[in-house]
Structure 1
Amino acid sequence: MKAEYDFSQAQRGAVIPQSGKTRITIYIDDDVLATFRERSEAAGKGYQTMMNEALRQYLGKEQQPLDAETLRRIIQEELRAAK
């Protein structure tokens, strides 16, 4: 290890910048956060991911592919309507 390091050209920030996401500070009501945390534990995914999905859905910008359950439901509805 060197006795001294030159940090004159150093920059603050992540070593590997994350594209497509921005870190922010936001205040969420305690009850809303608790609900998302409870639901995330039951679903087996992170509460922040679930909050992001809920915001996308609210904004009409859902970017997720259809899951098998939703696809089955849509096909069943269409088959019923075609009869």
Structure 2
Amino acid sequence: MKEEYDFTGGERGKFFRENAKLNLPVYLDDEVQAYLQERARAKGVDVAQLVNEMLKQEIKLIEAVK
């Protein structure tokens, strides 16, 4: 890295998008990923859909015991 950078020609907020949607990466252990891929394949859905369904069920359980 340089010790100093020149931002005199910079424009504040040039790439800011208020309604931008961020998709955060989630890193799974190898055995968890393999299991989920197998279950998703068996159900005929993609892994993202299966994981979202599982997490929604988990959230319901957590909320039920509050």
Q: TM-score scaled to structure 2, two decimals?
A: 0.56
Q: TM-score scaled to structure 1, two decimals?
A: 0.46
Question: What are the equivalent positions in structure 2 for 1:20-35 lying under 5 Å apart?
Answer: 22-35=22-35
Please tell me whether Structure 1 or Structure 2 has the larger radius of gyration of its CA atoms. 1
Q: 1:45 to 1:12 in 2, by over 3 A?
A: farther
Stretches of structure 1 lacking an aligned partner (at least 5 in a row): 1-7, 62-83
Structure 1 stretches of 4+ with a deviation exceeding 2 A read 10-13
Stretches of structure 2 lacking an aligned partner (at least 5 in a row): 1-10, 62-66
- Whole-angstrom distance in 2 between the partners of 1:44 and 1:53: 13
- Whole-angstrom distance in 2 between the partners of 1:12 and 1:34: 37
Equivalenced residue count is 47
